[in-house]
Amino acid sequence: MRRKPIHYFQRDWHIVSYKPFYLKGTEYLFRGPEPDLNKPYFSCVGAAQTFGCLCEDPYPNLLSEDIELPVLNLGFGGAGALFFENKELLNTINKGKFAVIQIMSGRNESNSLLNSRNGVVPLYRTADKKKLTPPDAYKWLLENHDLATVKKVVEETRESWVQSYKSLLSHITVPTILFWFSKRSPDYTETYDTSADLLGNFPHLVNRAMIQKVSPKANFFVECTMEEYSFRYINRFTGNPTSIVLEYFDGKRKTRSHEFYYPSPRMHKEASKMLLEPSKKALDMHQAATPA
C-alpha cells in the first residue's frame, strides 16, 4: 500500500506546484520534476529544506541548472538519516553521479524514552506509545524528569544521530557532499528552560562536535549559514497575498501568511552557489572512478 502523500502537496497547491511523483520501487511521494533514472543524474537527500517547502526554486533545482545535470530531489518532510536506510532509496542514490546529504534534525532520533520508529516525525513515548510532536515530546521530558535524566537522554539522542549518519554515509558509494543548511551556526550551546531552548533552531540538537564525528565519512562538507528573512505567501494563480493552514497532531489548526521557518528563496540561491564547486569536484571524482 502506498503511503499517503505528504501534506505539502495538497496544502501548498495554490502557492507552489511540487510536481509530485512516486519513486519507482517505493511507497514514497517525492518532489519533481521526475528525472529519467536511466540517464545521468545526481541526488539531494534531506528533509523539508531540501524538498524546498513553499519555494518555487529550491537549491537542488538551481544546482541542477548550474551543472547541467538532472536532479533527483529526495527531500522528505520530517525525515532523518534513518529514513534513507532503505534498500531501494540507497540503490537509487548509488546509481547517480553523486549525492548531497543535508544535515537533518537530531530531534527525530530515538532514545531510551522516545522512539522515532523509521527516522521520521512524530515521536512515540516508549512508556505508553503516545504520539507526540518533537517540541511536545521534549516539553514533556523537561517537565517530568530531572535535569540529569534530560541531559542523559539528549546525549543518547545525539549519539543515535551520529550513528545514523555514519551508517547512511557508509552505504552510499558515490561521492558525497555533507551539507549544513541553516540560519544558525553549528556552534550553539543548549539551555534547559524550554523545549525550544533545548532543541535550538533547525537542525535541532545538532552541534559542531556531532558534525566533526560524521564529516570525515563524506567527501566534502559545505556549511551554508544565512539569517533567514520571512517571506509572504503569494497565490500563484492570482498573484495576490495568501495564507496556509497548519494542522497539528492534536487537531489544532493555525493560519499563517508569512514563512519564518523554512529557508527563503534567497537562502536557496546562496546554497546552490556554495554547492557548485564541490559538486563539480564530486562529478570529477565519479568520472575518475568509473571504468572507461
- The pTM score is 0.94
Which three cell numbers, joined as nine digits, stand for 276?
A: 557548485
φ, ψ at 240 (rounded to 5°): -100, 155
Q: Which residues contact 164 (CB under 8 A, 6 or more apart)?
A: 80, 81, 82, 85, 109, 119
Beta carbons of 135 and 195 less than 8 angstroms apart = yes
Which residues face 211 on adjacent strands? none
Alpha carbon 268 to its chain centroid, in Å, reads 14
- The grid cell for 203 is 537542525
Print the SS3 string covering 250-288: CCCEEEECEECCCCCHHHHHHHHHHHHHHHHHHHHHHHH
Q: From 217, 204, 88, select the one nearest 157 (Cα to Cα).
A: 204
Q: pLDDT 10s digit of each residue in the chain, 292 long?
A: 344 446 789 999 999 999 999 999 998 999 999 999 999 999 999 999 999 999 999 999 999 999 999 999 999 999 999 999 999 999 999 999 999 999 999 999 999 999 998 888 889 999 999 999 999 999 999 999 999 999 999 999 999 999 999 999 999 999 999 999 999 999 988 999 999 999 999 999 999 999 999 999 999 999 999 887 689 999 999 999 999 998 876 677 889 999 989 999 999 999 999 999 999 999 999 999 887 6
CB 72 within 8 A of CB 43: yes
